[in-house]
Amino acid sequence: MEIKVNFISQEKLNGLGEQEKLKFILEEVRKGQILVLEQGLTAEEQAKLIEMTMEKVNEKFSGIEMESYMSEKQNFWGRLLGKKRARMTIVGPADKIKTVYRDKDVIKAVIVGKR
């Protein structure tokens, strides 16, 4: 089975506004892509992505699997804007990627075939 994972650079996402960025992620995931975001999403972006996902859930698309490591330390802009950003985010279609284990430092996920 061929498995495709797309690594999305920080530069690519920084060039998009919040709405555009989340729309891009969701569209890719709905096409069946698994994305690894070099720069993770903020907690607010994660919540917005869940909201947008719920609007799209139907019989063929059951939602997303998302995993992020939140950064313990904030950079200068993060502190100024009060936003904590994930160090990295993995997101994919719920029917393709399943988290099997997670703790503070380790995420174990498997990529599975369609139902």
Query: Given the rule CB under 8 A, which residues bind another protein?
Result: 42-44, 46-47, 50-51, 53-55, 57, 59, 62-68, 70, 82-84, 94-95, 99, 101-104, 115
Beta-bridged to residue 37, according to DSSP, are: 8, 89
Min separation Cβ 66 and another protein, Å: 5
Question: 13 or 40: whose CB is closer to another protein?
Answer: 40
Q: List the one residue out of 20, 21, 48 whose CA is nearest residue 37.
A: 21
Determine which helix (DSSP H) or strand (DSSP E) holds 30, and give its type and residue range: helix 18-30
Task: Using the minimum distance from each CB to another protein, give the nearer residue, 11 or 103.
Answer: 103
